[in-house]
Chain A
């Protein structure tokens, strides 16, 4: 008993010694099968303190109008930073947004954000969610006042940017230090492509990959599994969301949305801009037999993409190789 409690005490003290382990340097790393990023931290030097502040802001629900919603509420790590089981984003005062939450990763390679591509810079992207009445429902001056009066934020700003000054620019730059660092490039697919030792596709996955390259890559281009274009994929326009046309004002863009990435697709259901499909089966069935004609339908989908049951299984098997569990479970990105 005595020995046991000594052991316990020892364990305790040992644990306390471990409270300040050497801090791991936060880095932004470009997978070798990715091109050069669009956002390269040139005007926003990445630091551990900046990343830590951005992460804290990302997960702080007190920033929203009724203190119930943080960025992390709709961007959940276990769902590759989208919102599991929600067709559309669920904001303050139980308000339902109009579109499905996009996942957050590999944003440093994106030139435009949101389903309609309306926002052109990763740094200014959070403003949309902060001010939308159905998302966080607040405004930046309110957030600045809150942060100035709430410990430890002034100290965290000082550590990150050298001054206790808190303004919209520093808030947005710190959040970008968190969101731009979210890189997902360690799926089985990536490892096979990089010819890492001991990795190979199964026969089913390989068949799916061949089929995918034949039928899907003209829009879902590697390595991001999107070509970042805006297209109409033959959904009937329930709710009449004009998508890209809201941004360009052009009738020819009505009903077009950004081609979504398929990385981590296993964890990002439901699917489509309005979250209408809950399973990959429904999605594949849509392309196989459900594409509806409309003025702006992508010409490549005029006849749909007919798939046999066996082909659907092959494609699904391949799509699951795009799951990056190291990313999903990386504790650096988790709320702390």
Chain B
């Protein structure tokens, strides 16, 4: 009995000491933390307001947006020394009609200063043909083609007076992963080294991206809704994907 008390007295400070030591050493290589990304949906600098607001494409044609959804997946972070970290199982569906979906949280990320972020706009090849998925990839999200396996990477639906379709509708369902109409695109952006993404155990930074829905219609090919108003995969989807590959996302700032 007496012995165990002594033992306890001996062990206690050791535990205290070791926990103290851990606190001071913040950048333990295997420490993990969290950061978040906010996707602010806009159209050419104006806030995206579904169904009511009227915007103009690069050809000066009016259009409205009723649906705007897209996948961001396989998020990869790089440090200045070139080491990278691919966030496992990072699949997110951003839906402009669901505010909570526009702010995503990345957990269990090794702490460190990251100077580059890249991700797939859409879903990687393998998951397009994989078995039944859940979460962001659940087919009930309306982003999975049942008749020709694969995900819709970016979905924009709306109207334009220029569209010859019934109801002047615009239907842009961009997807497809096989050549020559592979629409998987990777977006990458450097982060200002003076203000890198600082993932810390005591800090949960937020990255703020501007997402320009109008980027689907300009960049490499200025699209007129009188000729291109409907695509569900295929060559026209590739034209749209080539447009948005660079212009859809822009890193605006980071709150560290």
Contact = CB atoms under 8 A, between A and B. Distances in A.
B131 A124 contact: yes
Interface string B129-147: 1111110001110001011
Q: Max chain A CB contacts within 10 Å: which of B129, B132, B147, B233?
A: B132
Given A44-B131, A124-B131, A249-B234, A167 B147 contact: no
Contacts of A121: 129-132, 149
A168 B131 contact: no
B133 A169 contact: yes
Given A173-B131, A249-B234, A168 B139 contact: yes
B134 A131 contact: no
- The size class of the interface chain A forms with chain B is 20 to 34
A131 B148 CA distance: 13
Interface of B: 128-134, 138-140, 144, 146-149, 178, 181, 233-235
Nearest to A174: B132
Contacts of B139: 124, 127, 140, 168
Nearest to B133: A169
Contacts of B146: 119, 124, 127-128, 130-132
A21 interface: no
A128 B145 CA distance: 9
A144 B141 CA distance: 13
A226 B128 CA distance: 25
Contact of A43 (B129, B131, B148, B234): B131
Contacts of A169: 132-134, 138
Nearest to A112: B149
Contacts, number: 67
Contacts of A152: none
Contacts of B147: 114, 118-119, 128, 132
B148 A246 contact: yes
Given A127-B139, A144-B140, A167-B138, A172 B131 contact: yes
B148 A118 contact: yes
A178 to B, nearest CB: 14
Given A172-B132, A173-B132, 14 more contacts: A120-B128, A120-B129, A121-B129, A121-B132, A124-B144, A128-B147, A140-B139, A167-B138, A167-B140, A168-B138, A169-B134, A176-B131, A249-B181, A249-B235
Contacts of A249: 181, 233-235
A144 B138 CA distance: 13
B220 to A, nearest CB: 20
Given A140-B140, A249-B234, A123 B149 contact: no
B76 to A, nearest CB: 24
5 contacts: A121-B149, A167-B138, A169-B132, A172-B132, A248-B178
A179 B136 CA distance: 26
A222 B128 CA distance: 30
Contacts of A168: 132, 134, 138-140
Nearest to B234: A249
4 cross-chain pairs, A with B, having the tightest CB-CB distances, nearest first: A172-B132, A123-B131, A120-B129, A127-B146
Interface string A76-115: 0000000000000000000000000000000000000010
A144 B139 CA distance: 12
A162 interface: no
A210 B130 CA distance: 40
Interface string A132-162: 1000000111001000000000000000000
Contacts of B233: 249
A247 interface: yes
B131 A167 contact: no
Contacts of A44: 131
Nearest to A144: B140
A141 B131 contact: no
B231 to A, nearest CB: 11
A130 B146 CA distance: 9
A302 B88 CA distance: 52
Interface in A167-198: 167-169, 171-173, 176
A228 to B, nearest CB: 15
B234 A124 contact: no
Given A119-B149, A140-B139, A249-B234, A127 B144 contact: yes
A32 B144 CA distance: 37
B146 to A, nearest CB: 4
Contacts of A118: 147-149
